[in-house]
Amino acid sequence: MGRIKKKGTSGAAKNYITRTRAVKKLQISLPDFRRLCIFKGIYPREPRNKKKVSKGSTAATTYYYTKDIQYLLHEPLLNKFREHKSVAKKIGRALGRGEVGDAKRLEKTHMPKVKLDHIIKERYPTFIDALRDLDDALSMLFLFANLPSHEHIPAKTIALCQRLTLEFEHYVITSHSLKKSFLSIKGIYYQATIQGQDILWLVPYRFVQRTAGDIDFRIMGTFIEFYTTLLGFINYRLYTSIGLVYPPKFNAKSDGDGGELSALQLEGKGIDNGDSAANGEASKAITSAEAQAEADKIAALAASGEDEEDETTVAQTEGEEENTEAIDTFETTAEDADVLPQPTASNEELASLFAPFTFYLSRETPRAPLEFLLKAFGCRRVGWDGTHGDGAFTTNESDPAITHQIVDRPALPADALPPVPAAAEPTNGDGPQPKAQWPRTTMPGRTYVQPQWVWDCLNQGKLLRPDLYAPGAELPPHLSPWVKPKKGEYDPNRPLEEQELEGEAEAFEEEDLDDAEDAEPRLITNGEMDAIVDRDSDVEAGEGMDVASDSDEEDEEDEEDEDDEFEGFNSDAESEISDGEAERRQHQRELEAEATGTTLESSVPSSKAKSAEIRKKAEKKRKLEDEERERLKMMLPRRKRKLLKRIEYGENKRDTEAENLRRKKRKLEKVKAAANAL
Amino acid sequence: MAPNPRKRKVVTRATPDESVEDEELGDGLLEGILSHSEDESDDEAAASAGSSAEEDPSDDEADEESGDEPDLESDEVPSDGEEDIRRQLRNLSTAEGPLKRKTSHLTHEQEEAEAGDAEHEAEASEDDDLKPNYTVTTDAHGNTRYLYHEIDPVYESDDSDAPATANTIGNISLSYYDNYPHIGYDINGKKIMRPAKGEALDALLDSIDLPKGWTGLTDPATGKPLELTEEELDVLRKITRNEIPEEGYNPYPEMVPYFTGKLEVMPLSAAPEPKRRFVPSKHEAKRVMKIVRAIREGRIQPYKPPTVEEEEEATDFKTYDIWADEVPRPEHNMHIAAPKMPPPGYDQSYHPPPEYLPDKQEKETWRETEEEEREKEYLPTSYDALRKVPGYERFVKERFERCLDLYLAPRVRRNKLNIDPESLLPKLPSPDELRPFPTTCAAIFRGHEGRVRSVSVDPRGIFLASGGDDGFVRVWELLTGRQLWNVKLADEDAVDTVKWRPGKDAAILAAAAGEDIFLIVPFAILSPDVEQTSRDLIDAGWGYAAAKPSTTTNGATKEPPARWSRPGKRLEDKGVLVQATVRSTVKVINWHRRGEYFATVSPRGQSSAVAIHTLSKHLTQLPFRRLKGIAQSAQFHPSKPIFFVATKNSIRSYDLARQELVKILQPGAKWISSFDVHPGGDNLIVGTYDKRLLWHDLDLSTKPYKTLRYHQEAIRAVRFHQGGLPLFADASDDGSIQIFHGKVVGDLMENATIVPLKVLRGHQVKSRLGVMDVDWHPREPWCVSAGADGTCRLWN
């Protein structure tokens, strides 16, 4: 007979370890443990059976794998932490004695430097693994690149974040790996595909971030420490993989002038120095405004000339290369052969989407994202207002080379604008060309668009009609490029009629009619209020009506629901009866008409009646389907029925969401139609 | 008391042991003399409290005064008071003594005595220190005798008693005695008279020049105004200042360096100075050389502060490819990568399609819900231009929460339910495939009085036989509902069951009324040849029982389980040809598929509950000597020699050929009412009085494969369609018949599909009985039901 096994010596009880015990085992403090976990990527586990693990106690605890903690025991960082602790003690002692110099020396020479290189290698054995985990890293670094320094995040780290993100952006630009971008209310999402990995990151809008509340910057700082190391190695690898020198040259002066992307100058085999030359010229110190204008013009002309030449050469080389690099399309010769799918060569097109244009960014547009996007999609000549900072292709708005100007101001009538200062006029007039300045004057042949145009173009992979995005125009909705239309979900790209269920449109119609009837007299009274509130779009007008009719509408809906419930099984019978009744009446009318000898004017049933008919039919059909489904469900065993219930819960939620959206859409369409009719 | 100490005082006048006699020194005169004679103590007293010396003359006066007041001056009282005060005073004046003393006890009057006493005291204590505490005398024999002084039990002494109280009124405020001339009682119970309070003039004088020790307090013990001496006040002052009350005490005396301060002139040892004091240390040289060597070899580098650039280089830029020699490592089994953040949807757009914007109510609900409980952490908003988009104020917070999730949230792999719900639903045949099944009532057979207990459709599908409470067996034309034939079998007993013999060649109806079983060939409704074959079949058995009487082992003729006879002229004319009488009431008749045998069940008969009758021999056998439970029904297997018997809550199947029990089915029912075997023979349906219909798959288990509960009342009869249609029906007391589709597939792997099809309602419930029996047409999807309302119905 074997020994009696003691409880809690094997199995789950041994496999898991609580956090307190882990900290004790590692003999470090809790903050150090936290740091270690963040660096090593160790996270708590949820035991399958908590009771077995906790030996009966049910208190909420965090559990780690014992193996994970054992693995931490061998971490060289642990020693660093201990050294750090002892040095910190010494420093504290020195400070306590008032020996500041000693403390300084200790800190400078004895403080151990934590290097995370080995951890990077350990956590990401291959480069692809690292890329896979880059989403959070980029989002964090981009955020901190825009944050002020903090007690726990020194200015040096912030500068490093800025530098690393800029480097990464440069890589994305040169490798044309940016695929999509999206303007959300949270910030700007970008998606790049690097070595087959989709990397999605979010960059906040450039405002002061709210950092109040429960935010522990020590934790964020630890993450930042890890992510900066990671992105450093990734950048090195990315740069060297496309033949660039890493680190790129950093122009401190340009950076000081707000050069951002242009503060870094890439060097390598694939980079011609045309850009950097232009940048260098632009960044030259210029004494007077006039001289600056002149110089700008010259620079712009020269640059444009160069670029045009470049373009042609590029085109030529492309033409030559076409034979070698592009994928040939394979045509099957016989009919019975299988057709293998081939990738479309749209990547090249997408990469050079904005290549032939010269952009000018107005003062009010966000320069950094636009510059990044335009450059990432092939545009090499992006100029902007001088207030935006250093590194513009041109700062002269009236440069004739500019083909597109991105403007985010409504076009106001000329008399509404303040007069141009008289002093400025003659100086500008001296130049060979009048200074074109939106919105006072527009340059002939130049396209003025709103920033959204850029995003929509690149997301759809083609140049869209710029007139839809003209300054002051009502923009088309900006849609997320990542949403894939799924069955049963509402898709704003498709017309409403395709998506509506049978009879739904009529149901909505009916509701709306009822609403309209209810709301009409009230709308007039509401008119006064609307007049006060400036309504510049139809949508808002529609909303105005909503305000009036909301409660009624709900009541109506409720009533209808109640009706539905009340009708129960008899509803179809009733509808049949009513249908029959209608028919009979029609027939009666026909008979009467015959008797009097008049031709029956085609008494088209009112749209309402018609829609009601359709709706009823659809409802009936749906009810039948439901009944059939219920019948099937009755035959399921209980376990499966529960599973089905769970699945259906999700589906129903999705369906109601979609229906809600469709209902709103229908209403909006109606309002729009009414507005158009007026 | 007084004379004794006085005497001793005389004796020991020379010895300065004054302390003993202190209490006796009540005399002011003596006191005065003493105090003046003792210079040392006087000096001390004068230094500490100058007032005491001044008060000396007044002492005399006070003594004179006290003489005037005989009550107060009564010998003990003042002496007691004096003792008390002296004790206190000693504590006060000696530095060593404990300083806890109640100054409040000091009163005006005692003060006078006290001054003198203090001097005695001081003197006594000094004397104590200097002189031995004994005197040497010679005793009667001429030897030296040591006369030890009497020990004065002063406060410091070990046997100090509680201080004798002058006033014995205890802890009571003196104000209670305000109206009396006295202020309390002394130890002897005599009144302590109120001391003469200063007159108005005195009071005025007091107020004009306050005496030095005036406190304004009243001594509660004596009722006199409390005054403190200068000395006492000084002590108090020092105590309040946390100083040591003793005069001239130095808490930090100068340290006298006894040993180090002295300079030794002569050396302690005469040893010569050792050599090592003049030779450089070898050990040190060794250590230095070690360091020198290390420096030479470059093991020790002089510290060089790193330049700023170096530092930056070291931290900021990666100068090597960490993945230069990457080797893919298979992901650990238990590792779960952090899930990526989901990409934004349409409603996160800065300018979403207007239908994604929340309406007023949705906004309201979003705002009202707690931050943690919100479905979305943002409210979709539309801005008509990019320049109007504000910063997202939760940005840092969200990033921080993500960070927390990354390192704090336990990761669990959850299987996402990616099942098409349609696939879960059973593959049911479409309703069209299920057809045909009975849906409507096609004919009603009226004629019975009282309940119809049993119905049976004949194998050719032309006739319907029914038996009811009125004792009639009636035969109807199935399609039209016309009554063709009837016979009254019994007057008082109901016809419990009727059953046609299977087989189309003959038409024999078995019916049971009470204990009698009748075999009937309905007269004049059958075609002559069928009638003839039927009669022949029945008649073949006559005389068989007589020829071979059953005998028991001992040879005695045993009473046969049933008596087969002719029922009599009246019935025979109608076509009732045979009457077999068994021992108890027959409730169920079931034929074997070949029509040769039929089984009857009479639940009341214990050993004869189940009987198998042979038609061709007119023979009745009782297969079970004893049956467990009450038999409910019995059936033959449709193809094998197996016999099923249902008792109250189980069904047993017996192999008739081998005569053994094959299987016991446990439907789990409380009371089985009826059952039927599927024509395939592997499935069984069981109806129970506890409202359940159970489907048993004999191959699967002894437990039911499906339990159906669709009836509100007990189920009376269940029946499979025998003609190849996958239908079965059950009849219930709630007046409904339910039709099911029950398809059995030959494949063993596939279970039977059961689909509820139709509820047939029409029968009325009478005295809580609804439908009594149900039977199927042999070929068509028609079924016939017998109702408690006296009708039969045909459903198609």
Helix (H) or strand (E) holding A387: none
Query: Which residue in A126, A200, A537 is closest to B328 by CB distance?
Result: A126
Give the mean pLDDT of chain A. Answer: 76
CB-nearest to A651 from B352, B380, B421 is B421
Provide the pLDDT for residue A190.
Answer: 95
B738 within a domain of the structure (yes/no): yes
Instruction: Give residue-wise pLDDT tens across range A238-262.
Output: 999 999 988 888 888 888 888 888 8
Q: Let me know if residue B633 belongs to a domain.
A: yes
Answer whether residue A3 is part of any domain.
Answer: no
Give B 428-467 residues with CB within 8 A of chain A: 428, 431
- Establish if A534 belongs to a structural domain: no
Query: How many domains does the structure of chain B reveal?
Result: 1
Tally of domains in chain A = 3
At B368-405, the pLDDT tens digits run: 988 888 888 888 999 988 999 999 989 999 999 999 99
> What digits encode the pLDDT tens for the residues A441-491?
777 888 899 999 999 999 988 888 888 898 888 899 999 999 888 877 888
C-alpha dihedral over A635, A637, A640, A646, to 10 degrees? 70
Whether residue B72 is contained in a domain is answered as no
- C-beta atoms of A646 and B417 within 8 A: yes
- Residue B616, sorted as left (phi over 0), alpha (psi -120 to 50) or beta, turns out to be alpha
Among chain A residues, the shortest Cα distance to B385 is held by A408
Parent domain of B737: 431-481+590-795
Tokens linked to B701: 């288990």
Confidence at residue A555, expressed as pLDDT on a 0 to 100 scale: 41
The pLDDT of A419-446, averaged and rounded, is 57
Of A44, A139, A237, the CB nearest to B323: A237
B320 in any annotated domain: no
Indicate yes or no: CB of A632 within 8 angstroms of CB of B386.
Answer: no
Last residue of a domain, one of A211, A242, A273: A242
Domain identity same for A387 and A468: yes
Domain span at residue A49? 12-110
A486-522 CB burial, b ≥16 within 10 A, e <16 = eeeebbbeeebeebbeebbbbbbbbbbbbbeebbeee
Chain B residue numbers with beta carbons less than 8 Å from the beta carbon of A364 are: 387
Helix axes B28-37 and B108-130, enclosed angle (nearest 10) = 50
A373 and A457, same domain (yes or no): yes
The reply to whether A263 falls in a domain is: no
Contact state of B391 with A208 under an 8 Å Cβ cutoff:
yes
Interface size between A and B, measured as CB pairs under 8 A? 264
Q: Is residue A18 part of a domain?
A: yes
- Nearest-CA distance from B758 to chain A in Å? 12
In a domain, A557, yes or no: no
Q: Closest-CA residue in chain A for B340?
A: A135
Mean pLDDT computed over B698-723: 86
- Which of A242, A266, A281 terminates a domain? The answer is A242
Q: Can you tell me the distance from the alpha carbon of A668 to that of A674, in angstroms, rounded to the nearest whole number? A: 10
B332 and chain A in contact, CB less than 8 A: no
**Residue A595 C-alpha, separation from nearest chain B C-alpha, in angstroms:** 43
Closest Cα of chain B to A97: distance in Å?
24
Pick among A67, A186, A630, A653 to test the B interface (most B CBs inside 10 A) = A186
Task: Using the predicted structure, report yes or no on whether residue B10 has a pLDDT greater than 80.
Answer: no
Of A300-314, A613-627, B453-467, the one with minimum mean pLDDT is: A300-314
Domain check: are A355 and A396 in the same one?
A: yes
Tell me which chain A residues have a C-beta less than 8 angstroms from the C-beta of B355. Answer: 490, 492, 661-662, 664-665, 668
Verify that A144 and A21 share a domain, yes or no: no
- Average of per-residue pLDDT across A404-412: 84
Predicted pLDDT of residue A436: 58
Q: Does A509 reside within a domain?
A: no
B371 vs B323, higher pLDDT: B323
- The answer on A136 and A40 residing in a single domain is no
Q: Is residue B722 part of a domain?
A: yes
Q: What is the CA radius of gyration of chain A?
A: 34
The answer to whether the CB atoms of B406 and A45 lie below 8 A apart is no
Question: What are the tens digits of pLDDT across the range B345-360?
Answer: 998 999 998 888 888 8
B630 inside domain = yes
CATH classification of the domain holding A408: 3.40.50.10190
B409/A44 touch (CB, cutoff 8 Å), yes or no? yes
Token pair belonging to B90: 């000693």
Nearest Cα neighbor of A547 from A525, A576, A563 is A525
- Which B positions 363-382 lie with beta carbon below 8 A of chain A? 378, 380-381
Is the per-residue pLDDT at A113 higher than 80? yes
Q: What is the pLDDT of residue A124?
A: 93
Q: Do A99 and A219 belong together in one domain?
A: no
- Whether B221 is covered by a domain: the verdict is no
Alpha carbons B606 and B602: distance in angstroms, whole number: 8
Question: B270 CB near a chain A CB, below 8 Å?
Answer: no
Residue A456 is assigned to a structural domain of this protein:
yes
Are A35 and A103 within one domain?
yes
A361 and A464 inside one domain:
yes
Chain A CB within 8 Å of residue B308 CB = no
Does the beta-carbon distance from B343 to A482 stay under 8 Å? yes
* End-to-end alpha carbon distance in chain B: 141
pTM of the model: 0.55
SS3 (DSSP) at A352: coil
- Domain end call among A78, A110, A142: A110
For A41-80, the pLDDT digits (tens) are 999 998 888 888 887 777 888 999 999 999 999 999 999 9
Looking at residue B645, which CATH number applies to its domain?
2.130.10.10
Q: Is residue A618 part of a domain?
A: no
| Cβ contact, residue pair B424, A140, below 8 Å | no
* Beta carbons within 10 angstroms of residue A565's beta carbon: 8
For residue B724, tell me if it sits in a domain.
yes
Quote the CA–CA distance of A530 and A544 in Å, as a whole number: 7
Considering CB atoms only, which of B360, B398, B407 is closest to A38? B407
Q: Which amino acid is at B605?
A: G
User: How close B378 comes to chain A (CA, Å)?
Assistant: 9
pLDDT of residue B13: 43
Q: Tell me the chain A residues in contact with residue B416 when contact means C-beta distances shorter than 8 Å.
A: none
**A interface test, pick of B349, B401, B415 with most A CB neighbours within 10 Å:** B349
Q: Residue B230: pLDDT above 70?
A: yes
Closest partner residue to A185 (CB to CB) among B334, B392, B411 is B392
